Structure 1
Amino acid sequence: MRDVVRAQEVGFSAAMCSDHLTPWSSDQGQSGMAWTWLGAALASTDLSFGVVHAPGQRYHPAVSAQMVATLGEMFPQRFWAALGTGQLMNEHVTGERWPEKADRDARLAESVDVMRRLLAGEEVTHHGRVVVDRAKVWSRPPVEAAPPLLAAAITPRTAAWAGTWADGLITVNSSVEELRAVLGAYRDAGGRGPACLQVHVSWAPTREEALATAHHQWRTNVFGSHVLADVATVEQFDDIGRQVTPPGVDGPVVVESDLGRMVERLVEMRDVGFDRLYLHHVGQDQEAWLDAAGTSVLPQLDVTAPEPLVGTTGAGTTATALAERTR
């Protein structure tokens, strides 16, 4: 909470977090409840906030809709949710079978439909991969100010599917070629709304320190989504992370001691066509990074306040401070 308040003070214009029950590694050691934190963070700052969230298994979509609606009502046009199919590490705790990817996509599609109908004020009964019995969300913002439901997508295939239903896209940094393919697939499928890019970064006064931080905190998260989605426990993540040497994290994480060079790498990815750029420093000590970013990174990215997002309702880890840029 202190870090996100500081982020606003140094010039960041927005923030987001992920919704995990489990950390990526035992070295991280913590994984608080995102929704509890979000309410406090929205009340403590003037920033807009988003969350990457997976309805359908650990969360029933009616519960997800109520959480989204409450934050949307309390903090008008300052909150959004990016919906994804989830990861076994978080979802296995329910004891339910972990579906194949195609089934997870279908379950998410049903969950999105249920959530949009509930955010529009409908009473919903639904029998499919998710079951809903006469659900209604009573506390919610006006339909025209419903929080937008973005899509979290990493591959072009998922991004193309997301383009058929999402109010925007969020993905994570990769090569320029891969980012162009993901964004292109989303737009070619009719994807509307802002295209957001979350960039994992690690900065320290020396490259050795920056690389050590990235390796210590993020080495378990450098694998493809087809691997990360199906790993069940922290211990298993630790096991696969032992295969990663320090140089192997530079790429999945933008590792730099030179902030000018970091900006060059960020601009190259942004200019693929992304509207909003979120910076996620992977280290646990955020203060030095926030101060350095406020002085030497944000002024070069032309940070502006984000335009309010409005969803299409009715029309058919530990949280870390990030940055947003609108084009």
Structure 2
Amino acid sequence: MTRIGYHCSHEQYAPRALRDLARLAEEAGFAAIKCSDHIQPWSERQGHSGHAWVWLGAAMQATTVPFGNIAAPGYRYHPAVMAQAAATLGQMFPGRFWLALGTGEALNEAMTGQPWPDKPERNARLKECFDVMHALLRGETVTHRGRVTAVEARLWSLPDTPPPLFGAAATAETARFLGGWAEGLLTLGGDPANVAKVIDAFREGGGAGKPVHIQHTISWAATHDEAMASALDQWAPVAIGGEINWDIRRPSDFDLLGQFVDKDQIGRSVSVSADPGKHRADLQAFAELGADVVFVHNVGRNQEEFIDMAARELVG
């Protein structure tokens, strides 16, 4: 049975507030939680960017449900250091943590000063990082010299069961690339027909039988006008699409581009509706695709109201 989870957006809320929202979400009936891992927000209006790994320890201590994180190894984080963080959470909270590995965005990773590579090169780096992390989480001593380097790396505090390493994919091409080695898929929601193509590609690439998680972005409010205003204010920069999202490095530049996103275009990234039935139907469509968990990200600032609505209409 598909579980409904709650997405915690570090870009939009201070860490203390986000911890409290995670607790409220569990109390409302959300069965799982995941978070983003940013050093900068997509928009200056979002205004936050807490450290995801520090926050995860506090938020998981305050709750009992499973948690996930999506992060990009090989730039801000050395893969051995990320594996150490994942192992620590897995050891402290057995069976409650999973991690999705992605190729990242310049917004978050280019701050190290390394050249920002194209997508094929980022894919190759991701696979190397996965191999290093996968071995470390199983107690191996790893020496690897390639796009990333690790010399006699070993983790000493390991969980009884390694946390699963998912792969993150926004396109069918990337999902197919991940299928043979990632231990699960994290992909974006939206049009169920497009989501089906991504999931099918993952399964065709070797991911059949592996878990699938979906992050579905919505804007819900008491009225359609309020929901639309929230979507355009908070998520218009992300709706630009294409390679731009991965290659721009300043929130202010995203804000400039976001001015060109209108009410029709925002629907490419955000399901805007005041009708809980519309959102419930989307969740059902993802369930029919075989998703194990659908994490709902409401982009508006009305999180308490959204959680209250979801308790009655979406997760009950």
Please, what TM-score do these two structures have when normalized by structure 2? 0.91
Pairing 1:220–2:237 present: yes
Pairing 1:26–2:9 present: no
Moved more, 19-28 or 224-233: 224-233
Determine if contact 2:221/2:302 at 8 Å carries over to the other structure.
Answer: no
Runs of 4+ in 1 over 4 A off after TM superposition: none
Moved more, 171-180 or 156-165: 171-180
Pairing 1:240–2:257 present: yes
How far residue 189 of structure 1 moved from its aligned partner, in angstroms, is 1.1
Partner of 1:177: 193
- 1:110-129 Cα shifts (integer Å, max 9, x gaps): 10010011111111111100
Return the alpha-carbon distance in structure 2 between the equivalents of residues 138 and 101 of structure 1: 34
Please, what TM-score do these two structures have when normalized by structure 1? 0.88
Gaps in structure 2 of 5+ consecutive residues: 1-18
Percent identical: 44
Determine if contact 1:80/1:149 at 8 Å carries over to the other structure.
Answer: yes
Describe how 1:44-193 pairs up with structure 2 within 5 A.
44-142=62-160, 145-191=161-207, 192-193=209-210
Pairing 1:290–2:307 present: yes
- Please give the secondary structure, in 2, of the residue aligned with 1:15: strand
- Please give the secondary structure, in 2, of the residue aligned with 1:229: helix
Moved more, 220-229 or 130-139: 220-229
Indicate how the Cα distance of structure 1 residues 188 and 237 shifts in structure 2: closer, same or farther if over 3 A, else same: same
Determine if contact 1:154/1:225 at 8 Å carries over to the other structure.
Answer: no
- Please give the secondary structure, in 1, of the residue aligned with 2:247: coil
Return the alpha-carbon distance in structure 2 between the equivalents of residues 269 and 124 of structure 1: 39
Task: Between the two structures, name the one with larger relative contact order (CA 8 Å, sep ≥ 6).
Answer: 1
Select 1:254's aligned residue among 252, 271, 275. 271
- 1:136-195 Cα shifts (integer Å, max 9, x gaps): 1111112xx100000110111100011011111011113222111101100011104211
Return the alpha-carbon distance in structure 2 between the equivalents of residues 249 and 272 of structure 1: 24
Return the alpha-carbon distance in structure 1 between the equivalents of residues 186 and 72 of structure 2: 14
Partner of 1:276: 293
Return the alpha-carbon distance in structure 2 between the equivalents of residues 110 and 82 of structure 1: 15
Determine if contact 1:170/1:196 at 8 Å carries over to the other structure.
Answer: yes
How far residue 251 of structure 1 moved from its aligned partner, in angstroms, is 4.0
Return the alpha-carbon distance in structure 2 between the equivalents of residues 63 and 141 of structure 1: 16
- Please give the secondary structure, in 2, of the residue aligned with 1:121: coil
Select 2:213's aligned residue among 173, 189, 196. 196
Number of corresponding residues? 297
Return the alpha-carbon distance in structure 1 between the equivalents of residues 60 and 222 of structure 2: 32
Determine if contact 1:19/1:34 at 8 Å carries over to the other structure.
Answer: yes
- Please give the secondary structure, in 1, of the residue aligned with 2:240: coil
Partner of 1:211: 228
Determine if contact 1:211/1:247 at 8 Å carries over to the other structure.
Answer: no
Return the alpha-carbon distance in structure 2 between the equivalents of residues 220 and 284 of structure 1: 16
Return the alpha-carbon distance in structure 1 between the equivalents of residues 242 and 299 of structure 2: 18
- Please give the secondary structure, in 2, of the residue aligned with 1:58: coil
Gaps in structure 1 of 5+ consecutive residues: 300-327
CA-based RMSD of the aligned residues comes to 1.1
